[in-house]
Amino acid sequence: MTKRSSNIVWHTNTVTRQKREKLNNHRSFLLWFTGLSGSGKSTLVHGVEEELHKRQLRTYALDGDNVRHGLCGDLGFSDSDRVENIRRIGEVANLMVDAGIITLAAFISPFISDRKKVRNLMPPGDFIEVFCNSSLEKCEERDVKGLYKKARLGEIREFTGISSPYEKPLNPELILNTGENSVEACVTQVMTLIETRLALREWEMKE
């Protein structure tokens, strides 16, 4: 991205991420849920967030549809708009992780290169890619929003999985079989991963 702003200087906060994490008594990171429309991303994000909230951990969920009502309301679904959509969300998520918040993002994010850019914004280990792996047939079978039907009829152009590509993650931190397994089983898998990640930084909280 070409920066258009000039005469700007980065200001370093005196209240650091480490101080915020210590106040929260847990580390922060980004859980990035990717997959086709209907693969269960949003359902899982909110299920996992509920579990984290019960444990009194500070969280925030970013949902693909929700951000297009505001932050990304000026974007369509062309390849270039999809790239810009994920760029903006990546920057927001990075700020939230810096704020000491466990951030959960549910976005189709169809391109590997875009997800890699978000990963590269953060220190190693802070971007956790969760692939909601469900077949196109299963997603169409669910089709709770009726989007696949409209895409098949040509009423929606550039629809991921139908008229626009989806690039599966090559090495995600977690693969969930959301097409076959229950929501509860998938939430349990994510929570197991989160507990491992939290334990990795427990020693820092005690300093």
Distance, CA of 144 to CA of 126 (rounded, Å) = 32
Q: Are strands 102-106 and 174-176 parallel, antiparallel or unpaired?
A: unpaired
Task: Report pLDDT for 207.
Answer: 47
- The third-level CATH classification (topology) of the domain covering 20-133+167-205 is Rossmann fold (3.40.50)
160 - beta bridge partners?
Answer: 164
Q: What's the mean per-residue pLDDT of the chain?
A: 89
Is 109 one of the catalytic residues? yes
Distance, CA of 161 to CA of 139 (rounded, Å) = 10
Model-wide pTM > 0.85: yes
Distance, CA of 28 to CA of 164 (rounded, Å) = 33
Residue for token pair 């270039």: 80
Q: Are strands 30-34 and 174-176 parallel, antiparallel or unpaired?
A: unpaired
Amino acid at 60: Y
SS3 45: helix
Task: Report pLDDT for 142.
Answer: 87
Task: Report pLDDT for 93.
Answer: 97
| Cα–Cα nearest to 67, from 82, 50, 51 | 82
SS3 102: strand
Residue for token pair 């579990």: 51
Structure tokens at 179: 């097409």
For residue range 185-204, list pLDDT tens digits in order. Answer: 999 999 999 998 776 554 45
Residues 6+ apart with CB under 8 A from 42: 63, 64, 65, 106
Pick the catalytic residue: 28, 37, 42, 109? 109
Domain boundaries, the chain: 20-133+167-205
Amino acid at 21: E
For residue range 68-120, list pLDDT tens digits in order. Answer: 888 888 888 888 999 999 999 999 999 999 999 999 999 999 999 999 999 99
∠ Cα 191 167 40 (to 5°): 40
